[in-house]
Amino acid sequence: MGHLYDVTMGGRPCQVLSLSVYDVAVFAVKTDPDIKPFKFATSFPGLLGKVYSCGWHFGYEQTFSMGYVSKLYDEAIIHTTPMNQGCSGGPTLDASFNIIGVNSAILTGYNGWNGVSYSVKGDILQGVYKDALQVIKQKEDLQKFLDRRRKSA
């Protein structure tokens, strides 16, 4: 399902739309004009294209790892970028630092990460992001939003 929250982050009021059905949250916050958000990529790197993963590896703030694309699927990117607990939900970036996906899962064994990471492709999430902002801006009924997203999936 999902929830819309009014919260304060860093002393600034913002709204957070949590969408458990997509395992993603969208934040709407007013920032300084000097802060530039990441942009969605218009294309995806090919095989062996360089990618980056941002997150909080094991709780360490703002970690950044590099890897390579192993396989592209319609909805997912498989890559070698190290991801651990705390990285899911963070952006997967291309070499130009545009969003190509969202960190979602890893292949694990008895030692943790085994060199295979999965990201949901950014073009899928871009539609969710745009719709989520509409919910936040227009106070659209959250259930109508979720029903509309399910029908378009």
- Give residue-wise pLDDT tens across range 69-113: 999 888 889 999 888 777 888 889 999 999 998 888 887 766 666
> Which pLDDT belongs to residue 20?
65
CATH 2.40.10.10 intervals, the chain: 50-123
> Which pLDDT belongs to residue 153?
58
Q: What is the C-alpha to C-alpha distance for residues 129 and 17, in angstroms, rounded to an integer? A: 10
Give 69's strand partners.
79
Tens digit of each residue's pLDDT (9 = 90 or more) over 106-143? 877 666 667 788 888 888 778 777 777 777 777 666 66
Q: What is the C-alpha to C-alpha distance for residues 51 and 64, in angstroms, rounded to an integer? A: 10
Topology at the third CATH level for domain 50-123? Thrombin, subunit H (2.40.10)
